[in-house]
């Protein structure tokens, strides 16, 4: 397997300006004729052979400028087609290939999902349709003629605008689509199938009348309205917030049930995992609604950040992904609640990206080398990439940031750009030197910022000292060079000990932001009559770990009084984390209370709930939610015992449930939706449901019997899937006949609803009990389960391996074995999903010795299996390195 390096980038020797595709759909023998308008690239090497990429293609015919190619002129291997002496002037290659969409289990290229023909081309799937220069810096204008059976594929969709359609012989028809915007092949898409449609119109700020449509499985049209509305809201938001308008006459979204990831931003034809389109109150939770809205927005926003401006090469992936995640986060924050959304973002970052950055798969946001690019669609590229863009806005301020974005879009429109191009736009707009900042893209690992504060009563000054330290991370490209200081924006403020802001100044704090851009620095505030409580990294202004020895009272002050909601939540999290880490480290037994610290936390939360739980239930639910097991493991750092972590967390849950019980029950009553109230998925309604269910969960932890009765009632009578599933999740943690009966009933009720059964699979796979392994093995034989469907694998297997730490890390190694077994069984079918599952082993070096040996043995078994895909072999190789 060869390594691709950023340092080796060279422009393509040839360019393709025009692509005419003629695709004749057939279940097993689809024929594709590609007519490519090529020319030598002035920036390439004159006279070089033309090497087109290919993958699992059958070559039927080839012609050069209308003539058959002579003997020896071309050479075909399984992965390439080479034309040895291409003309050194514009020329036309006509290539006919044949593919089998029905046996395409990798779900890359052209495949069938429930009988629907669809495509996935990013990162390198177009080469599975025809031979091509399959790299993002080769951009062409595509015209696609799609022909298929009228009965099996009444709907035929392509990129761009529809230009013609008609009969194509007995029982067949065709449609022609033309996309005027030059694009790389990874943005190509087509769809053919029997699909239901919902549609609406949107008039852009430029006056363009756009037809929007969402296509779903026939009969599910009623579940597509929310997604349809989210498209229109996304269009309006991007105009309002970034001045970006849509640029075609149609925008289509198609939902399919077999999809390797969430969705794909193909130009004018987004293809979605149906999990992120279909929603009804009876089948989707509030979290589903929020995800649908966010992913619809994300893919739509790619139209500018990704499609109009694309990536020069795959090392620049964060250029589109980090930026687009930032944009969808901002959209959700504007449409919902900004602080609540920020907390959710940080929770995912800490649970997913921080561990990735601390483990064997760590890589810079812009990697310098890869073996398999599909393994780099990571939390680091996406989520840390988004944090970098957010920091840039914090550094420059919103106006300059917006001006920089405008400059970037204008100067790079229609090009395949780099991170340097992006930063140059902001440097030009702000006049700032972004060199130290740009290291965020190059250096892997989560930085730590250690802070200490001292008050000098005589001088009436308060001094904050900051020291940044960066982990040395050895990556594929570099053997762990000494990291250089980063520019870290620290949003901060001072709070008076009794609450209220402190009017103290430091000229180095501008608009509430101090920039730490050397290894160590100090900040002096003058004119203070008492020691303040510092509120640092407000809104989580940088993706770092903060070491800051605040006292318990200082944290309580912040929880009660800080004007930054994120830091109020953070104060509660830190208080809890201290208790949890101490207990887990001490391997403390399961208990009914977590000492005086536990009681102190409960008392503080009681005050908090009394004061304002009803004013912002969504926020209150987050304050009540303890740090997750993965996050606690990161805080401990080494020799992890997942059982000790679970016991620590459970003990604190029991104590909170007991100490807050009456309050939580009262809140549940106060938040009941009035009988017959219409359902709304909006953030306020969802917040009320979240707090009710968080209360149920804690009450049940403390009093399983009373909780079970409540939860059973809720499972039976719930008006929404959110409430039904939350109650079932609570029940799933209480072993016994009531749980088993409720699970069985739920499975029976929803046996025809694959997406609902996925929730049921996931919930059972996450039960933190020794019996779960056998339960999961049993469910793998359930009629609705299939290794061939990525959603099923993610629900049942990935939930177990990635979201059930005590059982994945069973001391006997059986959790590792199950995961390794499924990875190997899956690898032959769908390497991308197999490789993703294998990343569950990411933290294996951090667990205690006995488990570590089992984990390593399982990884070695995977490594030694014959015929591994490049995807899995890359992950296993790096995990063991």
Catalytic residues: 299
When the beta carbons of 321 and 356 are compared against Zn ion, the nearer one is 321
**Beta carbon of residue 123, minimum distance to Zn ion (angstroms, whole number):** 12
* Neighbouring-strand partners of residue 39: 15
Nearer to ligand B3K, 126 or 377 (CB): 377
Which residue has 């999809």 as its token pair? 259
What CA–CA distance (Å, rounded) separates 270 from 296? 9
Polymer length in residues for the chain: 881
Count residues near ligand B3K (CB under 6 A).
Answer: 12
Q: What is the C-alpha separation between 839 and 835, in angstroms, rounded? A: 7
202 vs 377 by CB, closer to ligand B3K: 377
Closest CB to ligand B3K among 265 and 564?
A: 265
Please tell me the distance from the alpha carbon of residue 386 to that of residue 507, in angstroms, as a whole number: 29
Q: What is the DSSP letter of 349?
A: I
- Here's the x/- map for Zn ion, 300-339, by CB under 5 A: it reads as ---------------------x--x---------------
**Which listed range, 35-43, 298-306, 513-521, 586-594, lies at the site for ligand B3K (CB under 6 A)?**
298-306
Q: Which does 261 bind (CB under 5 to 8 A by kind): Zn ion, ligand B3K, none?
A: ligand B3K
Beta-carbon count within 10 A of 748 CB: 8
Cβ-based nearer residue to ligand B3K, 261 or 395 = 261
Closest distance to Zn ion from the beta carbon of 326 (Å): 11
Task: Please identify, among the stretches 141-149, 296-304, 723-731, 808-816, the one whose residues bind ligand B3K according to the rule CB under 6 A.
Answer: 296-304
Is the CA virtual torsion 790, 794, 796, 801 positive or negative? positive
Cβ atoms < 10 Å from Cβ of 141 = 17
Q: From 71-79, 259-267, 492-500, 706-714, give the range in contact with ligand B3K by CB under 6 A.
A: 259-267
Among 25, 195, 213, 261, which residue interacts with ligand B3K (rule: CB under 6 A)? Answer: 261
Is 345 a binding residue for ligand B3K by CB under 6 A? The answer is: no
Residues 57, 472: Cα–Cα separation, whole Å:
43
Quote the least distance from Cβ 263 to ligand B3K, whole Å: 6
| Of 659, 654, 686, the residue nearest 671 (C-alpha) | 686
What is the smallest separation between the CB atom of 794 and Zn ion, expressed in angstroms? 18
DSSP secondary structure string for all residues of 112-145: EETTEEEEE-TTTTGGGTS-B--STT-EEEEEEE
Min separation Cβ 299 and Zn ion, Å: 7
Q: By rule CB under 5 A, what count of residues binds Zn ion?
A: 2
Residues 357-376 that bind ligand B3K (CB under 6 A): 374
SS3 content of the chain, % helix, strand, coil (to 5): 45, 20, 35
Residues 168-197 touching Zn ion, rule: CB under 5 A, are none
The DSSP call for residue 381 is I
Does position 264 interact with ligand B3K (CB under 6 A)? The reply is: yes
3-class secondary structure, 743: helix
For residues 575 and 601, what is the distance between their CA atoms, to the nearest angstrom?
7
> What are the residues whose beta carbons fall under 8 Å from the beta carbon of 777, sequence distance 6 or more?
818
Dump the DSSP string for 763-822. Answer: HHHT--STTHHHHHHHHTTSTT--TT-HHHIIIIIIHHHHH-HHHHT-TTSHHHHHHHHH
Which is nearer to ligand B3K, 604 or 835 (by Cβ)?
Answer: 835
**377-396: which residues touch ligand B3K (CB under 6 A)?**
377
Closest to ligand B3K by CB, 13 vs 372, is 372
- Binding string to ligand B3K for residues 715 to 754, with x set by CB under 6 A, is what? ----------------------------------------
Of the two residues 562 and 827, which places its CB atom closer to ligand B3K in the complex? 827
Residue 432 is classified by DSSP as -
Q: How far is the CB of 318 from ligand B3K (least distance, A)?
A: 11
Q: Which is nearer to ligand B3K, 302 or 649 (CB)?
A: 302
Strands (E), 669-747: none
328 binds ligand B3K (CB under 6 A): no
Taking the least distance from each CB to ligand B3K, the nearer of 302 and 561 is: 302
Which residues are CB-neighbours of 116 under 8 A, at least 6 positions away? 191, 192, 193, 194, 195, 254, 256
Q: Does 533 bind ligand B3K (CB under 6 A)?
A: no
- For the record, the structure tokens of 366 come out as 């812009």
Q: Which is nearer to ligand B3K, 261 or 391 (CB)?
A: 261
Element (H, E) at 110: strand 109-113
- Among residues 299, 328, 335, 723, which is the contact residue for ligand B3K, using CB under 6 A? 299
The span from the CA of 698 to the CA of 696, in Å, is 6
Q: Which is nearer to Zn ion, 331 or 514 (CB)?
A: 331
Q: What CA–CA distance (Å, rounded) separates 575 from 718?
A: 34
Please give the structure tokens belonging to residue 830.
């769908």
Site residues for Zn ion, window 378-417 (CB under 5 A)? none
In contact, 724 and 254? CB cutoff 8 Å = no
Least gap, CB of 831 to ligand B3K (angstroms):
11
Judged by beta carbon distances under 5 to 8 A according to partner kind, the member of ligand B3K, Zn ion, none in contact with residue 122 is: ligand B3K
The residue among 321 and 643 lying less far from Zn ion, judged by its C-beta, is 321
572 scored as a contact of ligand B3K (CB under 6 A):
no
The two tokens of residue 500 are 């209220």
CB 336 within 8 A of CB 683: yes
- List 127, 181, 233, 298, residue binding ligand B3K (CB under 6 A): 298
Residue 521 binds ligand B3K (CB under 6 A):
no
By CB under 6 A, which span of 95-103, 280-288, 294-302, 557-565 interacts with ligand B3K? 294-302
Nearest to 736 by CA among 709, 757, 762: 709
Residue 265 interacts with ligand B3K (CB under 6 A): yes or no: yes
Burial group, residue 711, by CB count within 10 angstroms (0-12, 13-18, 19+): buried
Smallest distance from Zn ion to CB 331, Å: 13
- Closest approach, Cβ 462 to ligand B3K, in A, equals 44
* Cβ atoms 124, 116 nearer than 8 A: no
CA distance 732 to 283: 19
The minimum distance between CB 347 and Zn ion, in angstroms, equals 20
Interface map 120-159 toward ligand B3K (x if CB under 6 A): --xx------------------------------------
- Contact call for residues 25 and 117 (beta carbons, < 8 A): yes
256 lies in the site for ligand B3K, by CB under 6 A = no
**165: helix, coil or strand?**
strand
Rounded CA gap, 502 and 486, in Å? 29
Q: Identify what 123 binds: Zn ion, ligand B3K, none; CB under 5 to 8 Å per kind.
A: ligand B3K
**How far, in Å, CA of 671 to CA of 695, rounded?**
11
Query: Is the Cα dihedral 319, 321, 324, 329 positive or negative?
Result: negative
- Closest distance between Zn ion and the C-beta of residue 376, in Å? 13
Q: Is residue 836 within the footprint of ligand B3K (CB under 6 A)?
A: no
User: 84 to 123, contacts with ligand B3K by CB under 6 A?
Assistant: 122-123
Residue 51 half-sphere exposure, CB side, CA atoms within 13 Å?
Answer: 11
Sites of contact with Zn ion (CB under 5 A): 321, 324
Catalog residues that contact ligand B3K under the rule CB under 6 A: 122-123, 261, 263-265, 298-299, 302, 321, 374, 377
């Amino acid at each position: 397997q060869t390594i691709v390096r950023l340092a080796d980038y060279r422009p393509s020797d040839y360019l393709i300006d025009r692509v005419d595709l003629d695709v004749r759909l057939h279940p097993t023998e689809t024929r594709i004729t590609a007519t490519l308008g090529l020319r030598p690239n002035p920036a390439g090497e004159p006279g070089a052979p033309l090497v087109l990429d290919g993958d699992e293609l059958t070559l039927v015919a080839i012609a050069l400028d209308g003539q058959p190619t002579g003997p020896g002129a071309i050479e075909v291997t399984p992965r390439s087609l080479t034309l040895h002496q291409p003309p050194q002037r514009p020329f036309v290659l006509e290539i006919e290939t044949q593919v089998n969409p029905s046996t395409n289990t990798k779900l890359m290229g052209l495949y069938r999902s429930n009988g629907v023909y669809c495509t996935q081309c990013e990162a390198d799937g177009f080469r599975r349709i025809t031979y091509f220069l399959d790299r993002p810096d080769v951009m062409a204008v595509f015209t696609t003629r799609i022909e298929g059976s009228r009965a099996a594929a009444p709907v035929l969709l392509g990129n761009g605008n529809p230009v013609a359609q008609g009969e194509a012989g007995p029982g067949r028809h065709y449609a022609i689509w033309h996309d005027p915007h030059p694009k790389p092949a990874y943005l190509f898409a087509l769809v053919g199938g029997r699909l239901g449609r919902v549609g609406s119109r949107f008039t852009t700020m430029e006056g363009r009348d756009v037809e929007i449509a969402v296509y779903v499985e026939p009969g599910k049209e009623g579940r597509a309205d929310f997604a349809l509305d989210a498209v229109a809201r996304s269009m309006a938001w991007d105009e309002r917030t970034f001045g970006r308008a849509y640029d075609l006459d149609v925008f289509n979204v198609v939902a399919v049930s077999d999809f390797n990831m969430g969705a794909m931003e193909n130009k004018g034809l987004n293809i979605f995992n149906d999990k992120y389109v279909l929603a009804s109150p009876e089948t989707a939770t509030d979290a589903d609604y929020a995800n649908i809205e966010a992913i619809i927005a994300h893919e739509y926003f790619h139209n500018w950040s990704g499609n109009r401006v694309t990536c020069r090469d795959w090392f620049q992936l964060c250029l589109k992904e980090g930026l687009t995640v930032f944009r969808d986060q901002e959209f959700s924050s504007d449409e919902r609640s900004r602080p609540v959304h920020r907390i959710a973002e940080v929770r995912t970052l800490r649970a997913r990206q921080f561990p990735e950055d601390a483990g064997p798969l760590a890589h810079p946001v812009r990697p310098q080398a890869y073996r398999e690019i599909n393994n780099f669609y990571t939390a680091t590229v996406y989520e840390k990439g988004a944090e970098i863009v957010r920091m840039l806005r914090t550094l420059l301020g919103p106006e300059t940031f917006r001006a920089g974005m405008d400059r970037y879009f204008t100067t790079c429109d229609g090009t395949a750009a780099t991170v340097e191009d992006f930063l140059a736009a902001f440097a030009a707009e702000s006049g700032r030197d972004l060199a130290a900042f740009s290291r965020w893209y190059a250096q892997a690992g989560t930085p730590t910022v250690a802070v200490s504060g001292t008050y000098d009563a005589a001088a009436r000054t308060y001094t904050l000292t900051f020291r940044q330290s960066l982990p040395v991370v050895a990556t594929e490209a570099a053997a762990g060079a000494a990291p250089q200081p980063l520019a870290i924006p620290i949003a901060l403020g001072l709070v008076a000990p009794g609450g209220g802001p402190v009017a103290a100044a430091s000229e180095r704090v501008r608009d509430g932001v101090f920039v730490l851009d050397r290894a160590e620095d100090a900040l002096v505030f003058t004119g203070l009559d008492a020691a303040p409580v510092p509120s640092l990294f407000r809104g989580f202004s940088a993706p770092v770990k903060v070491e800051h020895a605040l006292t318990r009272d200082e944290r309580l002050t912040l929880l009660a009084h800080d004007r930054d909601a994120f830091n109020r939540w953070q104060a509660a999290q830190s208080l809890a984390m201290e208790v949890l880490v101490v207990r887990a480290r001490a391997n403390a037994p399961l208990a009914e209370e977590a000492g005086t610290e536990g009681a102190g936390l409960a008392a503080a939360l009681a005050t908090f709930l009394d004061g304002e739980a009803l004013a912002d239930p969504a926020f209150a639910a987050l304050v009540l939610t303890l740090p997750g097991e993965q996050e606690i493991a990161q805080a401990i750092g080494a020799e992890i015992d997942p059982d000790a972590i679970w016991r620590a967390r459970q003990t604190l849950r029991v104590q909170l449930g007991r100490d807050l019980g009456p309050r939580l029950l009262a809140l549940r009553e106060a938040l009941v939706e009035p009988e017959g109230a219409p359902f709304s998925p909006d953030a306020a309604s969802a917040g009320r449901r979240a707090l009710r269910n968080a209360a149920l969960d804690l009450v049940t932890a403390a009093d399983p019997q009373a909780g079970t009765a409540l939860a059973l009632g809720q499972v039976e009578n719930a008006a929404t899937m959110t409430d039904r599933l939350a109650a079932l999740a609570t029940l799933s943690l209480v072993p016994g006949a009531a749980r088993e009966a409720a699970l069985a009933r739920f499975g029976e009720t929803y046996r025809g609803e694959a997406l609902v059964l996925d929730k049921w699979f996931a919930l059972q796979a996450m039960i933190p009990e020794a019996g779960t392994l056998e339960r999961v093995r049993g469910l793998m034989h359930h009629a609705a389960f299939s290794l061939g469907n990525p959603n099923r694998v993610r629900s049942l297997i990935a939930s177990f391996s990635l979201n059930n730490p005590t059982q994945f890390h069973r001391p006997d190694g059986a959790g590792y074995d199950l995961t390794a077994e499924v990875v190997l069984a899956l690898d032959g079918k769908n390497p991308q999903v197999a490789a993703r599952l294998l990343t569950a082993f990411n933290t294996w070096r951090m667990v205690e010795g006995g488990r570590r040996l089992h984990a390593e043995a399982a990884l070695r078994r995977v490594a030694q299996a014959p015929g591994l895909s490049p995807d899995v072999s890359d992950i296993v190789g790096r995990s063991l390195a």
